[in-house]
């Protein structure tokens, strides 16, 4: 007799289910490039070991009357070749399966995760442990640490081997930090988070890919060159890239027409302020925008303006206020008694309203450091996300910055502008793109 | 590696033209980090349209019956043929939906078949066959069938227990038919009621904790 563990889906994750669509599977991919062709059997063994350590990853998603919930399962993951397009759908309501997959292609190990299960940081922990375990198996003769467990975790505030229990299903960091009594200093008056008016922003338009797959283009460049450019403008790398992204979109669109405002949503990892070792979703988003045509619009000025908006919004106090407001909304009795399918519709409408105020999304997982013997066998690492609007994801490892662009559209004009702006400043960029149109496949088969 | 002279960037993979600006790319092809996955046109939209149009036709057909005169006087046996065809169609559509959960399918089936039979009986002049025979037989046999299937398929208790419970509760309805005297022959209803009561007692005794666990999960506010 099995009575399985289960837990209600957390605060942030519900939106991924409601906002999921044919073009946007809400799946993200993190990849690590090794220094050799991947050995699938060793990767499978490494996956089995890592999987056993992360009970959250055993979960399947089920539907109840009022909420979705995650439930423990006996399923085992299987390593496959990269046989589907990037960020292909994972969750199928009628056939509950695991919410992640591990695939390989030549020298790459890719982890794809349904966003309702885990966020970028949580998935990066899993991938780090997987890669560490794989490397240990592959280079057995070398002197690698026996226990690669929590390689990444221990680097986190509050992390440590004894805390690995926290990677279980039932740990919800949102509930842990934002459910109790509020600090007496602030009392947000807003009744619902969704109804705060957001300005409409310029929306990128394009031709959808023929089979609704995500178009991904990955740029690789030396991180020090781009960092030098950002430092010269005295702004953070994320905001420098965002400003560059805005400018690329403006150039590609040949001016913005009537709506001169570009807005981006930037996720912020809450673990840096509220220590948690749970790989479940634990982030909040910050919106930044810039209206063109009101003064100088060069990269530096735009970047500094974005930085000035971003910093006060990304403080622990501001984030706590924002998340508490969401948590309060989620706990309101009115919403709780609404059946799940209707909640989905409500969330979908909220999401649609929010999307009107956003042009692009920007996400930076930052610099990844692996434990030393593993570090030297891993080259660039990158990640990208299925997208309903043009999205930019950045990540750096081994001195290489990968900036990935994803979008539901065929067009790559903004990426071309982005690349040319960087190369014109002397940055070496290499471009890797997925094929998405009949013409591109025809070209491939001509060879 | 290939490169684009216009973008002054390196191009990974074997692109003949730059994926960003379509300028021809000189150089040796290299491995792309992304495999070329052929286009795969999803039939999902077509299936969805077929599903909803089928449901519309089926519901329309059931509603259209009310426009015709009740009893056998109007279109006679043609009505039964019509009802038979759309009932069959409905069941095929339900089967094609391919719900993985056998117990859930059973509840849906019992409800649909029961309601259609009652409606059918009503349309053909209310001879009472639906409540006397069809509904109790469908309910009773579905409980037995479910008992056997979940054992044969080794369905996990948590997967089926709530829907099995619902099937058993539906099986109690014929006791009501008996009490209100809606039946012409009491035997099918009595047997169905007895099966349901026995199943309910067994469920409570052997699986009571599981039922409460599943209900707590599914009704969590």
Query: Which residues, listed in sequence order, are joined to residue A362 by a DSSP beta bridge?
Result: A392
Query: Mean pLDDT, to the nearest integer, of A214-220?
Result: 95
Given a cut of 80, whether residue A180 has pLDDT beyond it is: no
CA distance to A259, A366, A438, per residue, from A255 (Å): 10, 31, 29
CA-closest candidate to residue A136, choices A334, A302, A378: A378
CA distance to A395, B62, B112, B125, per residue, from B118 (Å): 64, 12, 10, 11
Given a cut of 90, whether residue A12 has pLDDT beyond it is: no
Q: How far apart are CA B95 and CA B92, in angstroms?
A: 5
Which pLDDT band holds residue A186 (cuts at 50, 70, 90)?
very low
Q: How far apart are CA A44 and CA A232, in angstroms?
A: 45
Could you give the 3-state DSSP secondary structure of residue A29? strand
Q: How far apart are CA A52 and CA A74, in angstroms?
A: 11
Query: Mean pLDDT, to the nearest integer, of B192-205?
Result: 93
- CATH code for the domain in which residue A6 is found: 3.30.559.10
pLDDT, position A36:
92
pLDDT, position A288:
94
Long-range contacts made by residues B22-26, C-beta under 8 angstroms, separation at least 24? B26/B2
Q: Which DSSP string corresponds to B93-131? A: HHHHT--S-HHHHHHHHHHHHHHHHHHHHHHTT--SHII
Question: Using CB atoms, which residue from A3, A65, A212 is nearest to B218?
Answer: A65
Q: How far apart are CA B24 and CA A188, in angstroms?
A: 57
pLDDT (tens digit per residue) in A395-421: 999 999 999 999 999 999 999 999 999
Question: Using CB atoms, which residue from A86, A95, A211 is nearest to B40?
Answer: A211
DSSP-assigned letter for residue B34? S
Q: How far apart are CA A405 and CA A241, in angstroms?
A: 12
pLDDT, position A201:
86
Q: Give the burial string for A317-355 (b: 16+ CB within 10 Å, else e).
A: ebbbbbbbbbbbbbeeeeeeeeebeebbeebbebbeebb
Given a cut of 60, whether residue A141 has pLDDT beyond it is: no
Which pLDDT band holds residue A191 (cuts at 50, 70, 90)?
very low
Q: How far is CA B184 from the centre of its chain?
A: 32
Q: How far apart are CA B37 and CA A436, in angstroms?
A: 9
Name the more confident of B169 and A154: B169
pLDDT, position A323:
87
pLDDT, position A301:
93
CA-closest candidate to residue A313, choices A292, A337, A288, A338: A288
pLDDT, position A327:
82
Residue B111, min C-alpha distance to chain A (Å): 19
Q: How far apart are CA B19 and CA A443, in angstroms?
A: 11
pLDDT (tens digit per residue) in A378-393: 999 999 999 899 999 9
* B contacts of A440 (beta carbons < 8 Å): 19
For the record, the structure tokens of A246 come out as 């805005």
Question: Using CB atoms, which residue from A8, A94, A413 is nearest to B99?
Answer: A94
Region of A362 on the Ramachandran plot (φ > 0 left; ψ -120 to 50 alpha; else beta):
beta
Name the more confident of A145 and A197: A145
pLDDT, position A326:
83
Query: Which residues, listed in sequence order, are joined to residue B64 by a DSSP beta bridge?
Result: none
pLDDT, position A165:
52
Query: Mean pLDDT, to the nearest integer, of B11-22?
Result: 92
Which pLDDT band holds residue A157 (cuts at 50, 70, 90)?
very low
What does the radius of gyration of chain A's CA atoms come to, in whole angstroms? 22
Given a cut of 60, whether residue A142 has pLDDT beyond it is: no
Length of chain A: 447
pLDDT (tens digit per residue) in B148-181: 998 898 888 888 888 899 999 999 999 999 999 8
For the record, the structure tokens of A284 come out as 């909040």
A394 neighbors A381 (Cβ within 8 angstroms): no
Query: Which residues, listed in sequence order, are joined to residue A223 by a DSSP beta bridge?
Result: none
Tally of CA atoms within 13 A in the half-sphere of B177 that contains its CB: 28
Q: How far apart are CA A134 and CA A140, in angstroms?
A: 10
* A contacts of B16 (beta carbons < 8 Å): 443, 446-447
Query: Which residues, listed in sequence order, are joined to residue A384 by a DSSP beta bridge?
Result: A29
Average pLDDT, rounded, for chain A: 85
| Mutate which: A105, A435, A442, A443, vs B, most B CBs within 10 A | A435
Q: How far apart are CA A361 and CA A209, in angstroms?
A: 19
| Mutate which: B14, B29, B35, vs A, most A CBs within 10 A | B35
pLDDT, position A188:
39
CA-closest candidate to residue A108, choices A412, A417, A429, A397: A397
A357 neighbors A195 (Cβ within 8 angstroms): no
Question: Using CB atoms, which residue from A3, A212, A431 is nearest to B19?
Answer: A431
Highest mean pLDDT among A87-91, A169-173, B101-105: A87-91
* B contacts of A106 (beta carbons < 8 Å): 31, 33
pLDDT, position A200:
79
Binary contact (A444, B18; C-beta < 8 A): no
Q: How far is CA A326 from the centre of its chain?
A: 20
Could you give the 3-state DSSP secondary structure of residue B195? helix
* A contacts of B41 (beta carbons < 8 Å): 210-211
Nearest chain B residue to A429 by CA: give it: B9
Question: How large is the greatest C-alpha to C-alpha distance in chain A, in angstroms?
Answer: 69
At residue B177's C-alpha, the angle toward residues B175 and B179, to 5°, is 70
Look at the block and give the residue holding tokens 């058993």. Answer: B168
Given a cut of 80, whether residue A155 has pLDDT beyond it is: no
Of all residues in chain B, the percent with pLDDT exceeding 90 is 54
Element holding B173 (H helix, E strand): helix B173-179
Binary contact (A431, B98; C-beta < 8 A): no
Q: Which DSSP string corresponds to A92-144? A: -TTS---SEEEEEETTEEEEEEETTT--HHHHHHHHHHHHHHHHHHHTTTS--
* A contacts of B46 (beta carbons < 8 Å): none
pLDDT, position B48:
87
| Mutate which: B33, B38, B216, vs A, most A CBs within 10 A | B33
B57 neighbors B82 (Cβ within 8 angstroms): no
Binary contact (A431, B42; C-beta < 8 A): no
CA-closest candidate to residue B175, choices B195, B145, B147, B146: B195
Q: What residue numbers bound the domain in which A10 lies? A: 1-447
pLDDT (tens digit per residue) in B28-55: 999 899 998 888 877 778 888 999 999 9
How many domains is chain A built from? 1
Residue A23, min C-alpha distance to chain B (Å): 11
pLDDT, position A446:
54
A267 neighbors A283 (Cβ within 8 angstroms): yes
For the record, the structure tokens of A394 come out as 């950045």
Which pLDDT band holds residue B134 (cuts at 50, 70, 90)?
very high
CA distance to A72, A134, B139, per residue, from B164 (Å): 22, 45, 12
Given a cut of 50, whether residue A15 has pLDDT beyond it is: yes
Query: Which residues, listed in sequence order, are joined to residue A315 by a DSSP beta bridge?
Result: none
pLDDT (tens digit per residue) in A261-287: 999 999 999 998 988 888 888 889 999
Q: How far apart are CA B218 and CA B221, in angstroms?
A: 9
Residue A342, min C-alpha distance to chain B (Å): 14
pLDDT (tens digit per residue) in A287-324: 999 999 888 889 999 999 999 999 999 999 999 998 88
A110 neighbors A82 (Cβ within 8 angstroms): yes
A17 neighbors A68 (Cβ within 8 angstroms): yes
pLDDT, position A143:
54
* B contacts of A443 (beta carbons < 8 Å): 15-17
Look at the block and give the residue holding tokens 């999401």. Answer: A351
Q: How far apart are CA A46 and CA A317, in angstroms?
A: 40
Q: Rounded to 5 degrees, what are φ and ψ at A371?
A: -60, 145
DSSP alpha helices (H): ranges in A208-289?
223-232, 237-252
Q: Other CB atoms closer than 10 Å to residue A58's CB: what's the count? A: 22
Binary contact (B19, A211; C-beta < 8 A): no
Element holding A360 (H helix, E strand): strand A360-367
Average pLDDT, rounded, for chain B: 89
A62 neighbors A409 (Cβ within 8 angstroms): no
Which pLDDT band holds residue B208 (cuts at 50, 70, 90)?
confident
Give burial (CB, 10 Å; 0-12/13-18/19+) of A54. buried
Q: How far apart are CA B87 and CA B93, in angstroms?
A: 10
Using DSSP bridges, classify how beta strands A391-397 and A360-367 pair: parallel, antiparallel or unpaired. Answer: parallel
Domain boundaries, chain B: 1-40, 41-98, 101-221
Q: How far apart are CA A290 and CA A292, in angstroms?
A: 6
């Amino acid at each position: 007799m099995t009575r399985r563990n289960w837990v209600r889906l957390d605060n942030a994750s519900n939106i991924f289910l409601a906002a999921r669509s044919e073009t946007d599977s809400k799946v993200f991919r993190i990849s690590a490039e090794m220094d050799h062709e991947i050995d699938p059997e060793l990767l499978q063994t490494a996956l089995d070991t890592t999987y056993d350590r992360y009970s959250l990853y055993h979960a399947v998603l089920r539907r109840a009357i009022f909420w979705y919930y995650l439930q423990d399962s006996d399923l085992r993951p299987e390593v496959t070749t990269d046989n589907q397009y990037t960020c292909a759908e994972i969750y199928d309501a009628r056939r509950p399966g695991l919410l992640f997959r591990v695939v390989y292609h030549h020298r790459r190990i890719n982890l794809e995760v349904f966003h309702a299960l885990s966020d970028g940081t949580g998935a990066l922990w899993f991938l780090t442990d997987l890669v560490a375990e794989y490397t240990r198996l592959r280079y057995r003769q070398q002197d690698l640490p026996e226990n690669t467990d929590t390689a990444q975790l221990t680097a986190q505030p509050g992390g440590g081997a004894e805390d690995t229990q926290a990677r279980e299903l039932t740990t919800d960091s949102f509930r842990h930090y934002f459910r109790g009594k509020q600090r007496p200093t602030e009392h947000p008056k807003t009744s619902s988070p969704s109804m705060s008016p957001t300005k409409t922003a310029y929306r990128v338009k394009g031709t959808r890919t023929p089979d609704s797959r995500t178009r991904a283009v990955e740029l690789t460049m030396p991180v020090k060159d781009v960092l030098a450019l950002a430092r010269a403008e005295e702004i953070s790398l994320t905001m420098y890239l965002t400003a560059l992204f805005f400018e690329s979109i403006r150039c590609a669109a040949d001016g913005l027409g009537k709506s001169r405002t570009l807005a981006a949503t930037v996720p912020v990892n809450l673990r840096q302020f509220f220590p948690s070792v749970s790989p479940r979703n634990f982030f909040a988003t910050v919106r930044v925008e810039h209206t063109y045509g009101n003064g100088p619009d060069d990269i530096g000025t735009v970047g500094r303006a974005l930085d000035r908006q971003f910093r006060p919004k990304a403080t622990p106090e501001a984030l706590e206020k924002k998340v508490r407001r969401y948590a309060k909304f989620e706990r309101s009795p009115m919403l709780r008694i609404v059946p799940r399918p209707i909640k989905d519709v409500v969330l979908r409408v909220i999401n649609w309203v929010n999307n009107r105020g956003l042009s692009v999304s920007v996400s930076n997982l930052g610099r990844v450091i692996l434990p030393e013997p593993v570090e030297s066998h891993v080259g660039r690492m990158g990640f990208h996300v299925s997208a309903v609007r043009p999205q930019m994801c950045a990540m750096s490892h081994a001195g290489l910055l990968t900036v990935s662009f994803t979008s539901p559209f065929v067009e790559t004009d903004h990426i071309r502008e982005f690349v040319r702006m960087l190369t014109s400043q002397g940055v070496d960029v290499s471009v890797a793109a997925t094929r998405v149109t009949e013409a591109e496949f025809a070209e491939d088969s001509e060879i | 590696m290939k490169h684009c002279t216009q973008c002054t960037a390196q191009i990974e993979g074997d692109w003949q033209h730059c994926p960003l600006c379509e300028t021809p790319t000189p150089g040796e092809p290299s491995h792309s980090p992304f495999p070329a996955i052929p286009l795969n046109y999803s039939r999902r939209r077509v299936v969805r349209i077929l599903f909803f149009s089928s449901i519309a036709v089926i519901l329309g057909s059931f509603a259209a019956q009310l426009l015709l005169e009740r009893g056998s006087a109007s279109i006679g046996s043609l009505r039964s043929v019509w009802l038979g065809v759309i009932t069959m169609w409905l069941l095929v559509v339900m089967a094609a939906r391919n719900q993985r959960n056998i117990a859930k399918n059973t509840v849906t089936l019992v409800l649909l078949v029961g309601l259609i039979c009652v409606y059918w009986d009503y349309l053909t002049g209310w001879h009472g066959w639906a409540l006397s025979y069809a509904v109790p037989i469908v309910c009773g046999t579905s409980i037995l069938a479910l008992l056997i299937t979940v054992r044969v398929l080794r369905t996990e208790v948590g997967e089926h227990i709530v829907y099995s419970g619902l099937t058993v509760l539906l099986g109690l309805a014929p006791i009501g038919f008996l009490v209100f005297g809606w039946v012409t022959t009491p035997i099918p209803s009595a047997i169905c009621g007895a099966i349901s009561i026995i199943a309910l007692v067994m469920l409570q005794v052997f699986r009571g904790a599981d039922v409460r666990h599943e209900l707590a999960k599914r009704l969590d506010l």
